[in-house]
C-alpha cells in the first residue's frame, strides 16, 4: 500500500496542487501547458488519480516508491 491508495479516482486541481506541494496557480499553469494531464468537464477541471501517480513516479526506480 502506498500514499496514493487512499485518493479518490478523480482529483480536483486544488487536491493535486496540495499533493504536489505547489500553489494552485502553478498547478493551473502546468495544466494549461499540458504538463499535468487533465480533462475539462463543464466548468470543472479534473485529474485522474492514475495520471497524477504516473506523472509523479516518472523516472523513479520501481523499488524506490
**In the chain, what are the domains?**
10-64 (1.10.1660)
Q: Give tens-digit pLDDT for 30-46.
A: 999 999 999 999 999 99
Alpha-carbon distances, residue 41 vs 3, 4, 38, 57, 61 (angstroms): 27, 23, 10, 26, 34
pLDDT band of 56, cuts 50, 70, 90: confident
- If you ran DSSP here, which 8-state letter would residue 5 be given? T
- pLDDT reported for residue 60: 53
Q: Has residue 20 got a pLDDT over 50? A: yes
pLDDT, the chain, mean? 87
Amino acid at each position: 500500500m502506498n500514499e496514493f491508495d487512499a485518493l479518490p479516482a478523480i482529483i480536483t486541481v486544488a487536491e493535486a496542487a496540495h499533493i504536489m506541494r505547489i500553489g494552485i496557480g502553478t498547478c493551473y499553469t502546468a495544466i494549461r501547458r499540458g504538463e499535468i494531464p487533465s480533462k475539462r468537464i463543464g466548468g470543472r477541471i479534473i485529474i485522474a488519480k492514475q495520471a497524477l501517480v504516473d506523472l509523479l513516479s516518472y523516472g523513479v526506480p520501481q523499488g524506490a516508491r
